[in-house]
Amino acid sequence: MTEDAVVSFAQLAILPALHKVVDELGYETPSPIQAQSIPPLLEGRDLLGQAQTGTGKTAAFSLPLLSRLDLSVKSPQILVLTPTRELALQVAEAMQTYARHLPGFQVLPVYGGQNMSQQLRQLQRGVHAVVGTPGRIQDHLRRGTLKLDKLTSVVVDEADEMLKMGFIEEVDQILEHTPPERQTALFSATMPNEVLRVARRHLKDPIEIRIKSKTSTVETISQRFWQVKGLHKLDALTRILEAEEIEAMLIFVRTKIATVELAEKLEGRGFSSAPLNGDMTQALREKTIERLKNGTLDIVVATDVAARGLDVKRISHVVNYDIPYDTESYIHRIGRTGRAGREGKAILFVAPRERRMLYAIEQATRQPITPMSLPSRKDITDRRITLFKEQIAEAMESQDLEFFEELIDSYQDEFDVGHRRIAATLAYLAQKDKPLQLEGGPVDEVSVAEPASRPSPVERKAGETAELSRYRIEVGRIHGVEPRHIVGAISNEAQLSSNDIGQIKLYDTFSLVDLPADLPRETVRLLQDVWVCGQRLQLSVDKGKILKYKEKPANKRPFDKGADRRAKPGGKKPPQKPYKKK
């Protein structure tokens, strides 16, 4: 199947229960990686896929592997390896969603920092799929608490990130201890030699897929994002609608039913809006678009498929109420504004767990998406007052007011009330159904959302001194360790940014690493049991020595993320066998 082949999900031989979910989610046309990956994975073939984040990889492997699942076997049949806990959670949640109509399906996310006893209880009860980071997967294998004898499929997701974080050796070891007849899929944005070496060792006659990264520049469209917090999304959208100069707005949601629900809620708040989805008749869809064009309708709430090819020049704003599943969808969405050389505005609502997709979108559009703060109550009030004054001015200019002027004079003479008091009373009557002053509701959100790349504590305290403690770990040069391995393990398992990690000194049998002085006890205990290059870290404070580091430019940090983590492993490493194959 070629990359440009146009297929519908209906043509793919996934289970009917999965087709039902796909329809409920509003999926109609698979992305290129999905169209090319699903058929061979359904056939049980191994697959080597090169594709960027945000291209729809999770559905590309989840839908076919779930279709081949035996629900009667309550042992892990699918194992997905991910570089970070965040991705592990995302993949596990996506698989649970796709399998919502598969009775009894259980998926378990496994990662460092999570309660081990909770993971053990769920494994004992029985799960069909496990999604996890290499370190914690290895930990369970050493304990004998994760059995892989019934495993039928393994997925290595974002293999190049595994390499950067120092996990590629662990991935190699885990694959060695899986059944030889299992199916394997490996996905990576790039294909360094180390990743290809793992692929050559563990994939049998794989189908190779390369999805070209499609980038787009959108200079005529200003892009902003609001991180979902505090206010409900509907309240946030209402504030934006009230505060911004909007000619017409296109709002994107994921499902057909959401188009109807959101349009009705906006109508209830006084905004002229209508849904646009694939369940509507062609005549009704055309009528809705015509109303948007001629100005009798200002807001359309649509799904991706329903809005395809929509060309209405007066659309000044596109709002991604629900973040899209892939970057190409985002580019198509915001392309509905900024038409014919006009300036357009795109706003993206991003939940904290969707930050990876935000970064992928920035890469695809080659343009930063700037954080925005919502309009405050004062902003809304000022905007309402301005519009009310404009209404008064327009009526003064266009209407014959002589009759009303005589009426006011008569009222003043009869009741001895000043013109100012009468005008204020009439203004109240005119706006009482939609008060000029925004009342009650949640506390204002005035802070700007965090930028896409989270700053370290040092950066957040710009100019201040950050206290670090020196710790000793029991892994050194003879074990083949490099700084990037240590940074990858600590940042992933202890929820620390790589910027929080200071100087690293390597010795033959141990290493020293500078970490925040206020590291919680539970984090220290957690890091004592983390494995790097086949060795348990056994983290301990090195004589309690407190160090002080002044903030330094990024290119002068003791450990430079951009350089050291890209360095190739040096020297030959002794083989590591942290656990025995059962």
Classify domain 9-210 by CATH number.
3.40.50.300
Higher pLDDT, 18 or 352: 18
pLDDT for position 348: 94
Q: Can you tell me the mean pLDDT for 145-150?
A: 92
Residue 174: pLDDT above 90? yes
pLDDT for position 444: 42
Q: Can you tell me the mean pLDDT for 498-518?
A: 85
pLDDT for position 65: 96
**Residue 153 binned pLDDT confidence (cut-offs 50, 70, 90):** very high
CA distances from 292 to 68, 118, 178, 242 (A): 46, 53, 57, 19
Q: Can you tell me the mean pLDDT for 154-167?
A: 88
pLDDT for position 63: 95
Which pLDDT tens digit goes with each residue over 529-559? 888 887 889 898 886 544 444 433 333 333 3
pLDDT for position 3: 43
For all residues of the chain together, what is the average pLDDT?
Answer: 80
Q: Of 128-132, 287-291, 436-440, where does mean pLDDT reach its minimum? A: 436-440
Residue 334: pLDDT above 60? yes
Asked if the domains 221-375 and 457-564 are classified in one and the same CATH topology, the answer is: no
Sign of CA dihedral 423, 428, 429, 430: positive
Residue 136: pLDDT above 50? yes
Q: Of 34-43, 57-66, 461-470, 476-485, where does mean pLDDT reach its minimum? A: 461-470
pLDDT for position 69: 93
pLDDT for position 256: 85
SS (H, E, C) 257-320: HHHHHHHHHHHHCCCCEEEECCCCCHHHHHHHHHHHHHCCCCEEEECCCCCCCCCCCCCCEEEE
Higher pLDDT, 114 or 201: 201
Q: Can you tell me the mean pLDDT for 405-427?
A: 85
**Residue 567 binned pLDDT confidence (cut-offs 50, 70, 90):** very low
pLDDT for position 461: 37
**Residue 254 binned pLDDT confidence (cut-offs 50, 70, 90):** confident
pLDDT for position 573: 43
pLDDT for position 219: 67
Which value, in Å, is the radius of gyration of the alpha carbons in the chain?
A: 29
The fraction of the chain above a pLDDT of 70, given in percent, is 83
pLDDT for position 424: 84
pLDDT for position 148: 92
Residue 561: pLDDT above 60? no
Q: 27-48 burial, b if ≥16 CB within 10 A, otherwise e?
A: bbebbbbbbbbbbbbbeebbbb
pLDDT for position 420: 86
Residue 432: pLDDT above 60? yes
pLDDT for position 406: 87
Higher pLDDT, 63 or 269: 63
pLDDT for position 579: 54
| Domain 221-375, second-level architecture | 3-Layer(aba) Sandwich (3.40)
Q: Can you tell me the mean pLDDT for 314-329?
A: 88
pLDDT for position 250: 95
pLDDT for position 453: 38
Higher pLDDT, 22 or 128: 128
Q: Of 145-159, 332-346, 498-512, 558-572, where does mean pLDDT reach its minimum? A: 558-572
**Residue 106 binned pLDDT confidence (cut-offs 50, 70, 90):** very high
Q: At what angle do helices 419-431 and 402-415 cross, to 10 degrees?
A: 120
User: So what CATH class is 457-564?
Assistant: alpha beta
CA distances from 404 to 408, 411, 426, 429, 576 (A): 6, 10, 12, 15, 93
Phi then psi for residue 353, to 5 deg, are -80, -5
Domain positions in the chain are 9-210, 221-375, 378-431, 457-564
pLDDT for position 473: 92
pLDDT for position 341: 66
